Amino acid sequence: MKKILLISLLLFSKITFSQVTDSFTDGDFFQNPPWNGGIAYFQINSQSQLQSKGQQIASQTISLSTANKLSLDSSWEFFIQLNFNPTSTNFVRIYLTSDKENLEGSLNGYFVQIGETGVNDGFHLYKQTGTSTTKIINGPQKVRANANLFLAKVKVTRDASGKWSLFTDISGGNNFNLEGSATDNTYKTSEYAGFYCKYATASRYNQYIFDDFKIDDLVPDLIPPSLKTVSVINPTTLEVAFSEALDIQSATMPDNYYLSNSYATPIKIEATASQNIYRLIFEKVLESGSYNLQVKNVVDKRGNSLLANSSLNFIYIKPYTAKYGDVVINEIFANPTGNPSLPQREFVEVWNTTNEYILMQGWKYADQSSTYTFLIDTIKPNQHVILTAKADESLFKPFGKTIGLSPWPSLNNDKDILTLSDNTGNIIDKVAYSDTWYKDETKKKGGFSLELIDPKNICKGSQNWIASADNFGATPGKQNAVYGSQKTNDILKLSSANILDSITVQIEFSKSIDSLSASIASNYVINNGVGNPKSVIIESPDFKTVTIQFLTAFTRGIENTIIINNVTDCAGSLISPTTNTAKLFLAKKIEKHDILISEVLFNPRANGADFVEIYNHSEHILDLKDLQIANLDTKGLIANVKSVSSKSLFIKSSNYWVISTNPVNIKQNYLVQHPDNFIELPAMPAYNNDRGSVIILSNNVVIDRLDYDAKSHHPLINDEDGISIERVSFNIDANAAGNFKSAASTVGFATPTYKNSQEYAGNLSFVKLKGKTFSPDGDGFEDILNLEYQLEDNASLATVNVFSDKGRLIKKLLKNQTIATAGNLTWDGLSDNGENAAIGIYVLVFDVFDPKGNTKRFKTTCVLAAKLN
């Protein structure tokens, strides 16, 4: 039993790995290989040979055929025995090649024929075309010892050039002799081979015997098969091509294949019409990406095994139709001049913003004058690709994937229109850039690229482009240096809203806005019947300022509210609902004497600054945007007119504001009660130290005017530097005699932003203590003696002394100092020598005198107390 099994395995192996082999030892001719045709007219005899068993009739043709693909570079061997003397009517043909399975009809191929008139038959090779035959090798006649027995082993070879050679051994062995050679290349392919028996004598019906039929490669095949190609037929099917025909059993075993990325083995393998091509079917659908197919244990028809570790890498790109914006023009290096870090050559970078592989074959990149059509190019998911002139391709390859274009659509420095379209003409991206997009005059001159900020931004055009922030000046092949710079955690807010005129409002946002949403008039509304604007203008290049105009004019003196909705920043985030409103106020027109000159410092200390203080003498809130300040020229004409504010700046009724070129200096040198009430001008009209004119205008109409003179100062002041002159009364003309006097020393010689020290206090004069008793012991209770005073005259000098109840001078609080018309003085209980005054009663003497010699004296007493131990 084991012997039979071994023989069967060897036979199976031989049949499997030979091209065509049959010694008929298996007892049939129906398999390994299968024979077709007149199967009823053949049998396997007791010697395990194929033998005819046709009908015993006067004339019959019988045949068998089997599949055979070999034709060139091949050999044929077979044993033949005829138990009769062959003739031209009783002969045999052994078909080496045929394009038809039926050997008894019209076909194209080659055969060996035995049978001719006489007893010395030869072996001849024929070519058959249709039903016509042509002898191409005419073998010599052979003498047989027994005329009625024909026995021979025949071998035929055909090399790659088409040369045929016919060999025989008439003893039936393998000692072959050449019968003849010829070259014929008429037919180079084959489908079948087989036996053809024709007899006209009935007794010949079972006298044809065949054995050891073999068709093989002419040169022994010792070369293993190799893996050639892998093709994707559809998302679940791969087609694998090998270098030669394979043993179908090994080629169709799923375990012999493994696909990377968790796809494992195929669920099914299908053979194709080509014996070297098979289709692998997987359960899981292929996604775009890189794969590796590994193949093992596959053998060819001669048993040669595929080399170990055979594998092929391939890329599958799932069919994807790119949409607008999937691939964007991401960077433009139009003016490379002066860049020391990068090739000084133009480039454009495109970016695949998707997670898909995108085929660019047939796509077009163009400017306004030339166009380049892409060949077989693929852009990977999220890949940046550099486009440049073909001659410059090698310069940019170190920076990433680079495609050299010829022709190269050259880039204009100032402006150009670039278009990227697919193979059907659909636009994928289009950029009409301008050198204003750099937003930087230095970078605009060269050496820096324009970079797209974010392709997902809802802002477009110049809002979404800016000069590169990279130290190299550009970022070829990688993410832009400015990418996502507009994405911040800062919420879009309304920063300010100012009325420019009776129908125009200028709005400032905290960050750049989407110009599309900001251009919609219905997104803005003002109450009090004003409604929505008739026009919206967004100012570039920052896109933070919007100017809107209305059909209905604002009513002066009435406060309005503007509400902004649905405006977004470039990231698409809506304006904050808590900071989307602002108050709008169109002040009443400034009339004469509404704004008055209150105080002037025209002779500042060294390194100091002039200032002019103004006062709102009206009952309304007024807008300083309508105000100008000026002086007079040498001809006495108004000159050097300076606008106080370019934007609305409201001054409340009875408020003081200071105008100066250096508010910081003023705040450092004087007591300032309202530090926000300053207006800083780049330049002031010149106000000379000796005399000059301060002029206030509203819409070029004089509102107030002061013609000052250094003599306005108190005559007893020796050094006038740093001392302002203050208005005494707002109810009389600024130039009325004595209406401007020196600021008191008790207030620091100026009162910027608050009430003047020399302002008229009324007709009542008094000096009084806020408390008669004080105890300077540091316990926080009545530690200081407070004295309050008011004088009906201004520009006065005062001397204030403290005496003991015995008349001894204890403390000089003031000595001949200019004093405000109203104010406060304090005593801390210390004597002039810095010692604590004793407990007791003290007298305060307050002497006031003016430049005319008028004097007044006020006396009051107090008690300096202490705790008893």
Note the pLDDT of residue 14: 36
Residue 682 preceded by cis peptide, ω within 30: no
- The C-alpha angle with vertex 204 and arms to 105 and 25, in degrees rounded to 5, equals 80
Kind plus residue range of the DSSP H or E element containing 669: helix 663-669
Q: Please check the confidence at residue 568 and state whether its pLDDT lies above 50.
A: yes
Topology (CATH level 3) of domain 227-316: Immunoglobulin-like (2.60.40)
Taking residues 814-823, report their average pLDDT: 83
Note the pLDDT of residue 9: 35
- Give the pair of three-digit tokens for residue 683: 């330049």
12-to-18, 26, 342, 445, 723 alpha-carbon distances in Å = 10, 10, 69, 82, 125
Residue 377 to residue 361: CA distance in whole angstroms: 6
The answer to whether 227-316 and 327-467 have equal CATH topology is yes
- Contacting residues for 113 by C-beta, under 8 A, at least 6 apart: 91, 92, 93, 124, 126
Cβ count within 10 A of residue 33 = 19
Asked if residues 450 and 415 have their Cβ atoms less than 8 Å apart, the reply is: no
Residue 164 to residue 177: CA distance in whole angstroms: 14
Assign residue 353 a region (left: φ > 0; alpha: ψ between -120 and 50; beta: otherwise).
Answer: alpha
Kind plus residue range of the DSSP H or E element containing 297: none
**Residue 11 gets which letter from DSSP?**
H
Taking residues 682-695, report their average pLDDT: 94
Taking residues 33-50, report their average pLDDT: 95
What string of DSSP letters covers 207-234? -EEEEEEEEEESS---PPP-EEEEEEEE
Taking residues 313-335, report their average pLDDT: 93
Note the pLDDT of residue 761: 65
Residue 844 forms beta bridges with which residues? 802, 860
Q: From 739, 756, 738, select the one nearest 747 (Cα to Cα).
A: 756
Note the pLDDT of residue 806: 86
Kind plus residue range of the DSSP H or E element containing 16: helix 2-17
Note the pLDDT of residue 11: 37
Q: Please check the confidence at residue 4 and state whether its pLDDT lies above 60.
A: no
Residue 541 preceded by cis peptide, ω within 30: yes
Note the pLDDT of residue 763: 67
> Could you tell me which CATH class the domain 327-467 is placed in?
mainly beta
Q: From 399, 412, 334, 328, select the one nearest 369 (Cα to Cα).
A: 412
Residue 828 to residue 776: CA distance in whole angstroms: 6
- The C-alpha angle with vertex 11 and arms to 8 and 13, in degrees rounded to 5, equals 110
Taking residues 120-145, report their average pLDDT: 94
pLDDT in tens, 736-793: 888 898 888 888 899 999 998 878 766 667 888 888 899 898 888 888 889 888 887 7
Based on the number of CB atoms within 10 Å of its own CB, is 169 exposed (0-12), middle (13-18) or buried (19 or more)?
middle
Three-class secondary structure of residue 698 per DSSP: strand
- Contacting residues for 439 by C-beta, under 8 A, at least 6 apart: 466, 467, 541
Note the pLDDT of residue 7: 33
Taking residues 557-582, report their average pLDDT: 92
Is the domain spanning 595-747 CATH 3.30.413.10? The answer is no
Strand order in the sheet with 840-849: 773-774, 855-864, 840-849, 796-804, 809-819
pLDDT in tens, 367-426: 999 999 999 888 999 999 999 999 999 999 999 999 999 999 999 999 999 999 999 999
How remote is the C-alpha of 762 from its chain's centroid? 74
End-to-end CA distance of the chain: 136
Residue 651 forms beta bridges with which residues? 622
Q: Please check the confidence at residue 18 and state whether its pLDDT lies above 70.
A: no
pTM: 0.50
Residue 534 to residue 521: CA distance in whole angstroms: 7
pLDDT in tens, 220-272: 778 899 999 999 999 999 999 999 999 999 999 999 999 998 888 999 999 99
Residue 15 confidence class, pLDDT cut points 50, 70, 90: very low
Note the pLDDT of residue 10: 34
Residue 366 to residue 430: CA distance in whole angstroms: 10
262-to-266, 285, 308, 357, 381 alpha-carbon distances in Å = 11, 11, 21, 20, 20
Q: Please check the confidence at residue 562 and state whether its pLDDT lies above 90.
A: yes
Provide the mean pLDDT of the chain.
Answer: 91
Q: If one looks up domain 766-864 in CATH, what number appears?
A: 2.60.40.2550
Q: From 266, 246, 237, select the one nearest 254 (Cα to Cα).
A: 266
Q: From 696, 717, 721, select the one nearest 706 (Cα to Cα).
A: 696
Taking residues 132-136, report their average pLDDT: 97
Asked if residues 227 and 63 have their Cβ atoms less than 8 Å apart, the reply is: no
Residue 639 to residue 556: CA distance in whole angstroms: 30
Note the pLDDT of residue 782: 87
* Beta strands 364-366 and 402-405, pairing class: unpaired
Note the pLDDT of residue 118: 75
Asked if residues 236 and 286 have their Cβ atoms less than 8 Å apart, the reply is: yes
Residue 30 to residue 34: CA distance in whole angstroms: 4
Cβ count within 10 A of residue 115 = 21
Residue 656 to residue 613: CA distance in whole angstroms: 7
pLDDT in tens, 498-545: 888 889 999 999 988 998 999 999 999 999 999 999 999 999 888 899
Note the pLDDT of residue 868: 67
Considering the chain, what percentage of its residues have pLDDT values greater than 70?
Answer: 97
Asked if residues 768 and 787 have their Cβ atoms less than 8 Å apart, the reply is: yes
Can you give 478-543 as a three-state secondary structure string? CCCCCCCCCCCCCCCCEEEEEEEECCEEEEEECCCECHHHHCCHHHEEECCCCECCCEEEEECCCC
Note the pLDDT of residue 660: 96
pLDDT in tens, 617-666: 999 999 999 899 999 998 989 999 999 998 889 999 999 999 999 999 99
Kind plus residue range of the DSSP H or E element containing 760: none
Q: Tell me which architecture the domain covering 14-217 has in CATH.
A: Sandwich (2.60)
Task: Return the domain boundaries, the chain.
Answer: 14-217, 227-316, 327-467, 494-585, 595-747, 766-864
**Residue 252 gets which letter from DSSP?**
T
Residue 1 confidence class, pLDDT cut points 50, 70, 90: very low
- Give the pair of three-digit tokens for residue 116: 């001719």
**Residue 473 gets which letter from DSSP?**
S
Taking residues 553-577, report their average pLDDT: 92
Q: Please check the confidence at residue 140 and state whether its pLDDT lies above 90.
A: yes
- Give the pair of three-digit tokens for residue 98: 């045929």
Cβ count within 10 A of residue 367 = 17
Q: Please check the confidence at residue 611 and state whether its pLDDT lies above 90.
A: yes
- Give the pair of three-digit tokens for residue 654: 């009875």
Residue 471 to residue 448: CA distance in whole angstroms: 9
Note the pLDDT of residue 254: 96
| CATH match for 494-585 among 2.40.30.10, 1.20.1530.20, 2.60.40.1220, 2.60.40.1510 | 2.60.40.1220
Residue 12 confidence class, pLDDT cut points 50, 70, 90: very low
